[in-house]
Structure 1
Amino acid sequence: MIEAAGLAGRGVLVTRPAAQADGLCDRIAAAGGRPIRLPVLAIAPAPDPTSLRPLLAEDWDLLVFVSRNAVEQALPLFPDQRLPTASRLVAVGQATAQALVAAGRAPDLVPSERYDSEALLAFPALADLRGQRVLIVRGDGGRALLGETLAARGAEVVFAEVYRRILPAISVERVVSDWRQDVAIAIATSDEVLRNLITLARPVVGDDLFQTPLVVVAERTRGLALALGFVHVAVAARADEASLVAACEALVAAETA
Structure 2
Amino acid sequence: MSVTTTGKDQQAGGVGETIKVVIHALILALLVRTFLYQPFSIPSGSMKSTLLVGDYLFVSKFSYGYGKFSFGGNPLNGFQTPIANFSGRIWASEPKRGDVIVFRNPKEEGTDFIKRLIGLPGDRIQVKHSILYINGEAVPRTPVADFVETDAFGTSFHIRRYRETLPNGVSYTVLDMYQDGSADNTEEYVVPAGHYFMMGDNRDNSTDSRFTRDVGPVPFENLIGRAEIIFFSIDGVAWQFWNWPWSIRWNRLLGTL
Q: Do Structure 1 and Structure 2 share a fold, with TM-score over 0.5?
A: no
| Structure (1 or 2) with the greater helix fraction | 1
The TM tier, using the shorter chain, reads under 0.3
| Structure (1 or 2) with the greater strand fraction | 2
Q: TM-score, normalised by structure 1?
A: 0.25
Larger Rg: 2
